[in-house]
Chains A and B, each alone.
Chain A
Amino acid sequence: SAVISQKPSRDICQRGTSLTIQCQVDSQVTMMFWYRQQPGQSLTLIATANQGSEATYESGFVIDKFPISRPNLTFSTLTVSNMSPEDSSIYLCSVASGVAGYEQYFGPGTRLTVT
């Protein structure tokens, strides 16, 4: 399985500001994903990021709020823009692996608190 790192591991931000989260993988992968895990809740997919194309966002998530970059096959960033306290969550990146590409392996997450 791939080794995934995220930066920062946690941050406390003021409302109205933006934070960019980095995700680095130790091998080349086609599909990367960004999830949100709100306190006490399950994981919700924000978007799928494929290298060389625009990210595909899930219902309820928009590019202006969560712009994503995918400059190469080992790296992606997620920006949380114009933050509000409701954005306080753990943000996780994952990569698809396995024969069918359906298995996903997750990074350690970025714990974001917005005050």
Chain B
Amino acid sequence: AQSVSQHNHHVILSEAASLELGCNYSYGGTVNLFWYVQYPGQHLQLLLKYFSEDPLVKGIKGFEAEFIKSKFSFNLRKPSVQWSDTAEYFCAVSGYNKLIFGAGTRLAVHP
């Protein structure tokens, strides 16, 4: 069965710190992978997506993610976070025309 595991449920960082959020998936077929972000009081937005091209994917707001097939991972990174990155981040895998979401990681960035 498909599943997505996000290792960190809560992350607290200071501004300018580097960010890496872990995501591992379990799926037997060709994978399409996504990171979504939900800012406080706002709806879910697509941050970036992997569709079997370059394993290093660049998204909006300086985020990137690297697909490592051998590790079944799709970790999200940002070299320097800002207070405005405070949000909840969801990793998702697509298969059989549906999305399976991870549990989410709440990121709090302190000024």
Contact = CB atoms under 8 A, between A and B. Distances in A.
Contacts, number: 51
Interface stretch (A16-24, A39-47, A77-85): A39-47
Given A106-B44, A108-B43, A33 B98 contact: yes
A104 interface: yes
Interface residues of A, number: 24
Interface SS, B side:
strand
Interface of A: 1, 31, 33, 41-45, 48, 58, 92, 96, 98-109
B32 A102 contact: yes
B101 to A, nearest CB: 5
B98 A105 contact: no
Contacts of A92: 43-44
Contacts of B34: 103
B46 A31 contact: no
